[in-house]
Structure 1
Amino acid sequence: MNRRELLVTAGMLGLAPGLAARAATPADATAARDAYLYALPLIEMATTRARMLGAPGAAVNRIDHTRALADHTSRRVTTPNNDTLYSWAFLDLTRGSATLTIPPLGKRYYSVAVMDMFTNNNVVLGTRTIGGEGGTFTLVGPGQGAMGPNPTRIATPHAWLLIRVLTDGGEDMAAAHKAQDGFDLKGPAGVAPAAYAARDAAPEAYFASARALLASDPPPPTDLRVLGRTAPFLGAGPYDAAAAAAGVDEARAITVLAKGRQTFVNGWSYPRPNLGDYGQDYLYRAIVALQGLGALPVAEAMYMKAAGDDGAGNFTGDGLYRLSLPAHLPLDGFWSLSMYEATADGQFFFTDNPLGRYTIGDRTPGLKRNADGALDIWIGRADPGGDRSANWLPAPKSGPFALYLRAYLPRPELLDGRFRFSPVVKA
């Protein structure tokens, strides 16, 4: 495939959902490309599961807690947030349902997202959906009887349960820890998952793991068309090794090119409406799995990325930047602006800095607002000095960086585009 064709394929990110519909043969690199991208969310979920269950004392069907806010040492999941404490469990529902108890948290924001192995949010239980009174819910796997309180159907036998609990840090941490401890999960003893290849594995190992994962967590019937086209690689085979290598190389190039194929409006990219519940938009699903695994649906949270110096999300300058925000934003939750250093493989993590400040948000202490209540955030590698220091978000000492803005519980005018944020500008 030539460069022009490759760019057209990558351009599908902004033009149409799904993957290109082309006839596949056992020696077709196009089918290998589509197979790689289709399976990438499964591979990323399995990789994350293996890494997190490798921690001392971790086990399936058991909630584990992160007791500190994410910082520059947090490298488990790309684009972590610094607003909420995470609690998590990997579910194995093959032997029966699990029971989740959510404590009453009152006005404290929380969410419990349950994602199937294809990274779709099957349900989000939290402030927005069930309120602050809590409750008990039965998580039911495919083909199981809906027995127990509030049966909640999960699309695959294995899943990721991810809890976010808002905290202001500092003196609030003890209360936040108590809130975390109120979550309870009971289920059958699960089976330790098998080992699977990572996304950078050789094609043979990658596709073998993809087939095993699809057997463990079968896809929905709505995916039959793409599975038919990719059957040489995701099904019984056979396939040509050279075609597989060419297709995998093309798929990996697409994931790299995707970083520069976002659409920016007034300096920000806005999520698609199907973020977190992708349907047949396999390419978008793959890119989010790589760049923002575990993303919530837009009704719960909106993630915006700044355009940067190159118009593709990358800041490289050594000077000062400014983001101006109005006194009131159209949301019912909270907001934060996060600073990330960009890695070579397209992921983003917090960067070490002299303030230990990774985000600025509506709960950041000591911010200085303008007379009309508006807020200017100063972004740069060096302290801007004077009154600006209070509103400084430190950038990495060197190298590219990215800025993400999170808005939780967005109101309709933010969801439908009537409200747009001002761009980040050079000061």
Structure 2
Amino acid sequence: MPRDTETDAPADFSAIAAQAYTYAMPLLALETFRRRRIENGAMHRMMHYRDLLTPDDRQITTPNNDTLYTDLWLDLDRGPARVTVPGTQGRYISLHLLDAYTNTIAVLGSRTTGPDAIEVTLVGPTASTEGIEGPVVRCATPTVLGLYRILADNPDDVTWPRGIQDEITLDAPAYDGDELPPVDRHASWQSFFTEANRLIRKNPPPATDTEILRRIAPLGIGPDTVFDPSRFTGEEGEAISEGLRRCSDRMARIQASMGRGGAGWVPPRRNLGVYGQDYFLRAVVAVGGLGALPLEEASYFRSGGVGGEPFVGSRAWRLHFPADRMLPTEAFWSLSLYEPTPEGEFYFVHNPANRYAVGDRTPGLKWNADGSLDIWIGHDSPGADRESNWLPAPPGPFQLFLRAYLPRIELLEGRYKIPDPELVG
């Protein structure tokens, strides 16, 4: 039986497996997303979402309905990659670079580099920058995901953003792809940890992860080891499997319960996107909101109900913004509605209006005479005179996500309080 190397006591494989599952989950989530998106898992290519996302798009959980996406997949072990993005004449953009663990490397775009064209070379953690001209971003891991977002005001406002997508260039070494099958978080413990350890070896963790790596070492997982499931007895394997199951169930419960119970708006965690050693938050976000931006770029607020009354579409709700209390942003905001899955994921819902979000750019939005704004939420139409401001819901449970892009300081510091929806029917 493997033992803890410091205490010489039998290892608690259930607890260790839960820690290892939490630590490795973002690696698996990102890899699963990559293999869903790219044929044969080939890197060094771009994939464009040419329209605003709808209920039929389920590759990204908790998607926005505000921007077109482009994802760029890189393996910097093959060499540096140069990315060029054209200027956008003031239209909001961001190029969000994530490492293999879903930590933010950098966000380039409207807030940080301005509206002009972006030209940057990405290099791996130990690569030389000799001879490279222009701005360089050193990435924490060889595997990098670049998520490019460009504002599209509505489904009819996609022609110009598509043109910008067409002008994005990626200059990187050739990559032939691989034939490894996808492994998701519901795989057997043997498959999960075999794939997790392959990804950890491919993307060595930072020195700040030394302690968690020490704790999960009895499983034979680490940047310098090869995971061997055959070394465990049947009893140990059952304990490992139980640890994964309990941790997975806990993540799903937390995802499903966040914002529930009618507690009102739940603010984002301050370390969203820049997790440090908060491995559990990192894992939960990887499952329920992969690619979440840091707060300064976009602040995400969520609510599953108000005043002890959970949101269900069979009831009717009104979100009222007084004229002097509009959401304070430097860019734009949107209110999206999602139906939760049992696994803690969130997706848009089909509805007769084909509307999945309402925001300050919604076509035909009607403002009240005093400058205030009402958004009507529910499964049934609020009436013909209010349908311009209607956010349709499923008949059952739903959650609201309020996104503020380039939030102002009063929102970031919590001095601005978002109005709660009120039950009106």
Equivalent in 159, 171, 176 of residue 186 of structure 1: 171
Q: Distance in 2 between matches of 1:133 and 1:74?
A: 31
Give the distance between the partners of 1:170 and 1:343, measured in 2 at CA. Answer: 26
Q: CA deviation at 1:98?
A: 0.2
For 1:31 and 1:111, the matched residues in 2 are separated by 38
* TM-align CA RMSD: 2.2
How far, CA to CA, are the matches of 1:80 and 1:408 in structure 2? 14
- Partners of 1:92 and 1:191 within 8 A in 2: no
Tell me the residue number matched to 2:37. Answer: 52
**Residue of structure 2 in register with 1:322 after alignment:** 318
Give the direction of change, closer, same or farther, for the CA distance of 1:223–1:74 in structure 2 (3 Å limit). same
Q: Residue 65 of structure 1 contacts residue 180 of structure 1 at CA under 8 Å; is this kept in 2?
A: yes
Give the gaps of 5 or more residues in structure 2.
1-6
Letter aligned with residue 36 of structure 1: Y
SS in 1 for 2:45: coil
C-alpha distance in structure 1 between counterparts of 2:356 and 2:68, whole Å: 15
Q: Report the Cα distance in structure 1 between the residues aligned to 2:361 and 2:55, rounded to whole angstroms.
A: 20
Which stretches of structure 1, 4 residues or longer, exceed 6 Å deviation after superposition? 263-266
Distance 1:142 1:419, change over 3 A: same
**TM-score normalized by the length of structure 1:** 0.89
Cα pair 1:78 1:348 within 8 Å, conserved: yes
Written as runs of structure 1 = structure 2, the 5 A alignment for 1:348-387 is: 348-387=346-385
**Corresponding residue for 1:35?**
20
Identity %: 44
Query: Does 2:216 match 1:230?
Result: yes
Given the alignment, which residue of 159, 181, 186 partners 1:195? Answer: 181
Compare 281-290 and 365-374 and name the one that shifted more: 365-374
User: Deviation string for 1:145-201 (max 9, x for gaps)?
Assistant: 123320101111011111000012355322111122221111001252533421001
Whole-Å Cα distance in 1 between the matches of residues 322 and 99 of structure 2? 38
Q: Tell me the TM-score normalised to structure 2 length.
A: 0.90
Counterpart residue identity of residue 388, structure 2 = A
Q: Partner amino acid for 2:74?
A: L
Q: State the partner residue of 1:93.
A: 76
Structure 1 residues 23 and 370: CA distance shift in structure 2, 3 A: farther
The Cα offsets for residues 203-241 of structure 1, whole Å up to 9 and x where unpaired, read as: 111111111110111111110100110112324575521
Structure 1: runs of 5 or more not aligned: 1-21
Between the two proteins, the alignment pairs up a number of residues equal to 402
From 95, 98, 102, give the equivalent of 1:112.
95
1:102 and 1:183 in contact (8 A); partners too: yes
CA distance in 1: counterparts of 2:262 and 2:275, whole angstroms: 22
Q: Secondary structure at the match of 2:32?
A: helix
Matched, 1:172 2:168: no
CA-CA distance at 1:423 after TM superposition: 1.1
Indicate if the aligned counterparts of 1:266 and 1:420 stay in contact, CA closer than 8 A. Answer: no
In the alignment, structure 1 residue 214 sits paired with structure 2 residue 204 = no
Aligned residue among 414, 419, 423 for 1:417: 414
- 1:142 pairs, out of 107, 122, 125, with 125
Distance verdict in 2 for CA 1:262–1:223, change over 3 Å? farther
Give deviations 1:109-158, integer Å, cap 9, x for gaps: 00000100100110110000000111310001111012332010111101
CA contact (8 A) 1:38 1:286 kept: yes
